[in-house]
């Protein structure tokens, strides 16, 4: 690529004035020609077909119609709108605009053929199309277009300001007309040849103006490969450099805190896996490099004790430590749990959360700064600017997927050296994926549950069997156990889900009446304080049944709870089901998970339910999850901003990722300083990417 040409600001491009340039910058982060070229369509629509009005169906799909506007009028009142009558030989329909009336009125021509495109609505036996894309038939016939029309990512603000998909298409045409002689190969010849990749130039052109499905597929493959390849190259270099470059505080001694705790206060024998992981952590902490470790362990595998013992090492070496949890309930649980474990040690532990009173807060702040506070446990509140440690040596982050990368690095900057970081997660990411996503993060795995745990028995029951399930609940409660009943709450249909929850709560209350039974209810719309009260009633055993949404998904530990009922289980993802199931099976009793569904099940739902009833192994479940996941349905790893990919998808394109990873890591091993002639192009690209960081915004 010719960097100087392609780094030109988009303002220079014909058709992109200062206003549009500003919008593209602020809305999509597009600054240069190059950025614009890498704004990839997220789908393509088939515009080879023209519909007649009589052919329209009520399915609200994108359609393209040729016809004429015969009249246009304002409809006043609520929902004031401009309505045009649009006719072809087979019938008539309405075109509707809710905004931009003046602009439309000035431009629209009556009785002249147009090609319109958009989604249709059907109301009062008449079709209408809101805010259609329009083009005069005459112009439409003249313009060059491919069968597959790209649809670009957009934002509400962009479309409101007139930067429609059609406008972006036009800008792309101009861009490629100007830039096509500046597009050069960006991968080495051996790679292009071995993998039979489409050239960079053809790939870019075909992804924006596909000649055919086949061309498009080859173009996408090439661009996805390249995207993964350069990310992996960065990861590989980082991985090599990490140990030598990022300094940390070495925890050289194993002092009295750790030893006393280990010898006298450990409430149980550590499992083999816990011991191994602890050894890995101790090794990391003992070196001069900063530890950056991901601790994966299935729910109930005993990560907390590992965290505590790592914290004790920090304290033994004169440092402070913090433990951050995603919710107030969890932070509180960690706080009471750690206090209990440390009650015979001389350690000062405090809890900081949103609800902490100002006076208490001030005390905590000053105790942190003068070093008299050893361990701070808390929620996001720990990340506030006012919170300053005297010498933070270790930060433990529980349930990492709720925290973004930005927050992680905020902790890092509180010291001269970054503290060691231990990230704990119960969401098992398949190992291959973890390596590719967290290239510079070391991974430890607790793959063994504490002894004496009985495997949770999981069954699938249809709604029709509800009465039997209720009887089972009654029996378990009679034995002194507690029960969770979970309802789905999926944002889009929140109101409906909320109703399901409340209906469920009512029928449960009828089935399990007071005073024999006490029921807690917890959901996202409650005030945090009320949530805590209800949660605590259940934790203390005052209530036998907890009716809840997925807010209880993470971390809550009530060992006496032995039954987890999941309502509408077909609506949950696999990892979520597994997380929820992990709320039971924490005590010595046999536990059960009952997945309730209707009879209507998609094939994916069936696989999920079958997997859940077959296995308790989080890693196996994660692998199945990875295979099931379709486009657009992306896990926490991607949402958390670990990877911000432009065209590839870690889940969907995992095969390409593996190949790219192989090539990148081999290159870094074979030719780390880019000596080979054939790698000069990669050296150049890599240097450009580091310099103009805007291209592949990988952060870690």
Q: How far is CA 46 from the centre of its chain?
A: 30
Least gap, CB of 301 to ligand ADP (angstroms): 4
The residue among 185 and 448 lying less far from ligand ADP, judged by its C-beta, is: 448
Residue 294: beta bridge partners?
A: 423, 443
The interface partner of residue 98, options being ligand ADP, Mg ion, none and the CB cut-off 5 to 8 Å by kind, is none
Helix (H, G, I), strand (E, B) or coil at 519: strand
The residue range among 23-31, 50-58, 298-306, 354-362 that interacts with ligand ADP, by the rule CB under 6 A, is 298-306
Q: At what angle do helices 574-581 and 603-614 cross, to 10 degrees?
A: 30
Total residues in contact with Mg ion, by rule CB under 5 A: 1
- 132 or 618: CB nearest ligand ADP: 618
Site string for ligand ADP, 386-425 (x = CB under 6 A): ----------------------------------------
Backbone angles phi, psi at 507, to 5 degrees: -70, -35
Binds 201: which of ligand ADP, Mg ion, none (CB < 5-8 Å by kind) = none
Q: Work out which of 305, 328, 373, 519 binds ligand ADP, going by CB under 6 A.
A: 305
Check residue 300 for interaction with ligand ADP (CB under 6 A).
yes
> Per rule CB under 6 A, is residue 274 in the interface with ligand ADP?
yes
**Exposure letters 192-226 (e unless 16+ CB within 10 A, then b):** beebebbbbbbbbbbbbbbeeeebbebbbbbbbbb
Question: E strands within 329-413?
Answer: 349-352, 375-378, 392-398
With 0-12 / 13-18 / 19 or more C-beta atoms within 10 angstroms meaning exposed / middle / buried, residue 144 is exposed
3 state SS of 486:
strand
Closest residue to Mg ion, based on beta-carbon distance: 555
**Among positions 208, 293, 578, 586, the unique one binding ligand ADP when judged by CB under 6 A:** 586
Nearest residue (CB) to ligand ADP, 232 versus 579: 579
Sorted by sequence, the CB contacts under 8 Å of residue 286 that are 6+ apart come out as 250, 251, 252
> Tokens 């199945």 belong to which residue?
624
**CB neighbours of residue 440 within 10 Å:** 17
263 DSSP 8-state letter:
I
Nearer CB in complex with Mg ion: 130/337: 337
Q: Which of 67, 150, 297, 393 binds ligand ADP (CB under 6 A)?
A: 297
164 CB burial (10 A radius; 0-12, 13-18, 19+) = middle
CA distance 198 to 256: 63
Determine, following the binding rule CB under 6 A, whether residue 301 of this chain makes contact with ligand ADP.
yes
Cβ neighbors of 377 (< 8 A, separation 6 or more) are 322, 323, 324, 325, 331, 334, 335, 338, 349, 350, 351, 352
Using the rule CB under 6 A, give the single segment among 12-20, 54-62, 292-300, 485-493 that binds ligand ADP: 292-300
- Give, to the nearest 10 degrees, the angle between helix 200-208 and helix 165-179: 160
Minimum CB distance to ligand ADP smaller for 222 or for 581 = 581
List the single partner that 270 binds among ligand ADP, Mg ion, none, CB under 5 to 8 Å by kind. ligand ADP
Least distance from ligand ADP to the Cβ atom of residue 592, Å: 18
In a 13 Å sphere around the CA of 343, the CA atoms on its Cβ side amount to 5
DSSP code per residue over 407-430: HHHHHHTTSSSPPEEEEEESSPPP
If the CB atoms of residues 232 and 304 are measured against ligand ADP, the closer one turns out to be: 304
- CA gyration radius for the chain? 30
Cβ proximity to ligand ADP: between 583 and 629 the closer is 583
Report the site for Mg ion in 548-577 (rule: CB under 5 A). Answer: 555
Interaction of residue 579 with ligand ADP, rule CB under 6 A? no
User: Closest CB to Mg ion among 555 and 587?
Assistant: 555
Kindly tell me which of 331 and 563 has the beta carbon lying closer to Mg ion: 331
The SS3 assignment for 277 reads helix
Nearer to Mg ion, 373 or 554 (CB): 554
Q: Which does 183 bind (CB under 5 to 8 A by kind): Mg ion, ligand ADP, none?
A: none
Supply the minimum distance, in Å, between the C-beta of residue 329 and Mg ion: 12
- Whose Cβ is closer to ligand ADP: residue 38's or residue 586's? 586
H/E segment holding residue 92: strand 91-97
Which residue(s) pair with 442 in the sheet? Answer: 293
Q: Looking at beta carbons only, is 220 or 301 nearer to ligand ADP?
A: 301
Handedness of CA 576, 581, 584, 586 (dihedral sign): negative
- Residue closest to 221 by CA, chosen among 623, 642, 659: 659
CA distances (Å), origin 200, targets 150, 225, 542, 659: 19, 11, 66, 18
Tokens read off for 429: 């990411």
Give the interface size with ligand ADP as a residue count (CB under 6 A). 16
Binders of ligand ADP in range 425-454 (CB under 6 A) = 426, 450
| Smallest gap from residue 274 Cβ to ligand ADP (A) | 6
- Residues 504-543 as x/- pattern, contact with Mg ion by CB under 5 A: ----------------------------------------
Q: Site map for ligand ADP, 233-272, x if CB under 6 A?
A: -----------------------------------x-xx-
Interaction partner, residue 353 (ligand ADP, Mg ion, none; CB < 5-8 Å by kind): none
Query: Using the rule CB under 6 A, which residue among 257, 302, 428, 488 binds ligand ADP?
Result: 302
* Per CB under 6 A, 304 contacts ligand ADP: yes
Cβ proximity to ligand ADP: between 305 and 645 the closer is: 305
Residue 628 makes CB contacts below 8 A (sequence gap 6+) with 574, 604, 607, 608
**Taking a C-beta distance cutoff of 8 angstroms, is the pair 423, 404 a contact?**
no
Stretch that binds ligand ADP, among 172-180, 297-305, 458-466, 469-477 (CB under 6 A): 297-305
List contacts with Mg ion (CB under 5 A). 555
List contacts with ligand ADP (CB under 6 A). 268, 270-271, 274, 297, 299-305, 426, 450, 557, 586
């Amino acid at each position: 690529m010719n960097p100087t040409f392609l780094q030109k600001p988009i303002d220079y491009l014909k058709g992109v004035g200062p206003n549009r340039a500003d919008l593209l910058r602020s809305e999509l982060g597009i600054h240069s020609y190059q950025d614009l070229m890498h704004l990839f369509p997220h789908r393509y629509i088939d515009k080879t077909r023209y519909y007649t009005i009589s052919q329209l169906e009520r399915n609200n799909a994108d359609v393209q119609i040729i016809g004429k506007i015969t009249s246009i009028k304002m409809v006043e009142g609520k929902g004031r709108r401009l309505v045009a009558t649009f006719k072809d030989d087979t019938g008539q329909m309405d075109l509707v605009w809710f905004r931009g009336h003046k602009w439309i009125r000035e431009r629209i021509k009556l009785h002249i053929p147009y090609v319109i495109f958009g989604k249709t609505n059907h109301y009062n036996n008449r079709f209408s199309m809101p805010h259609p894309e329009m083009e005069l038939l005459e112009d439409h016939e003249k313009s060059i277009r491919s069968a597959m029309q790209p649809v670009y990512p957009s934002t509400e603000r962009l479309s409101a300001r007139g930067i429609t998909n059609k406008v972006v298409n036009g800008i792309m045409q101009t861009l490629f007309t100007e830039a096509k002689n500046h597009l050069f190969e960006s991968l080495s010849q051996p790679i292009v040849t071995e993998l039979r990749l489409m050239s960079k130039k053809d790939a870019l052109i075909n992804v924006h103006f596909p000649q055919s499905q086949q061309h498009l597929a080859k173009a996408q493959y090439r661009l996805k490969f390249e995207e993964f390849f350069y990310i992996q190259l960065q990861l590989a270099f980082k991985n090599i450099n990490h140990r030598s470059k990022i300094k940390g505080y070495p925890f050289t001694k194993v002092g009295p805190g750790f030893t006393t705790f280990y010898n006298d206060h450990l409430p149980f024998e550590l499992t083999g896996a816990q011991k191994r992981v602890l050894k890995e952590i101790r090794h990391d902490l003992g070196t001069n490099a900063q530890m950056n470790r991901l601790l994966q362990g299935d729910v109930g595998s005993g990560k907390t004790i590992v965290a505590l013992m790592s914290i004790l090492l920090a304290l033994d070496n004169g440092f402070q430590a913090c433990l951050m949890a995603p919710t107030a309930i969890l932070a509180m649980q960690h706080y009471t749990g750690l206090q209990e474990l440390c009650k015979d040690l001389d350690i000062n532990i405090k809890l900081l959360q949103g609800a902490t009173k100002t006076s208490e807060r001030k005390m905590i702040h000053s105790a942190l700064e003068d070093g008299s506070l050893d361990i701070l446990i808390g929620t996001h509140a720990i990340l506030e600017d006012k919170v300053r440690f005297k010498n933070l040596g270790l930060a433990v982050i529980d349930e990492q997927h709720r925290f973004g990368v930005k927050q992680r690095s905020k902790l890092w900057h509180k010291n001269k050296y970054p503290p060691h970081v231990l990230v704990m997660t119960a969401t098992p990411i398949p190992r291959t994926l973890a390596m590719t996503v967290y290239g510079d993060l070391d991974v430890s795995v607790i793959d063994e549950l504490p002894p004496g745990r009985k495997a949770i028995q999981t069954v699938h029951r249809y709604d029709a069997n509800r009465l039997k399930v209720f009887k089972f609940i009654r029996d378990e409660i009679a034995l002194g156990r507690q029960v969770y009943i979970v309802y789905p709450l999926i944002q889009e249909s929140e109101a409906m889900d909320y109703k399901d929850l409340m209906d469920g709560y009512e029928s449960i209350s009828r089935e399990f009446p007071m005073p024999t039974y006490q029921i807690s209810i917890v959901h996202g719309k409650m005030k945090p304080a009320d949530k805590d009260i209800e949660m605590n009633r259940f934790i203390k055993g005052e209530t036998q049944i907890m009716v809840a949404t997925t807010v209880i998904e993470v971390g809550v530990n009530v060992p006496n709870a032995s039954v987890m009922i999941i309502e509408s289980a077909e609506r949950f993802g696999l990892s979520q089901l597994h997380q929820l199931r992990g709320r039971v099976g924490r005590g010595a009793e046999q536990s059960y998970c009952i997945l309730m569904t209707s009879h209507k099940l998609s094939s994916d739902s069936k696989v999920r339910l079958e997997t859940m009833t077959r296995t308790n192994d989080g890693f196996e479940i994660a692998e199945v999850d990875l295979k099931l996941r379709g486009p657009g349905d992306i896990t926490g790893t991607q949402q958390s901003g670990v990877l911000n990919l432009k065209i590839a998808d870690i889940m969907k394109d995992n095969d390409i990722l593996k190949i790219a990873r192989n090539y990148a890591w081999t290159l870094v091993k074979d030719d780390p300083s880019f000596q080979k002639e054939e790698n000069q192009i990669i050296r150049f690209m890599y240097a450009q990417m580091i310099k103009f960081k805007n291209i592949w915004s990988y952060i870690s």
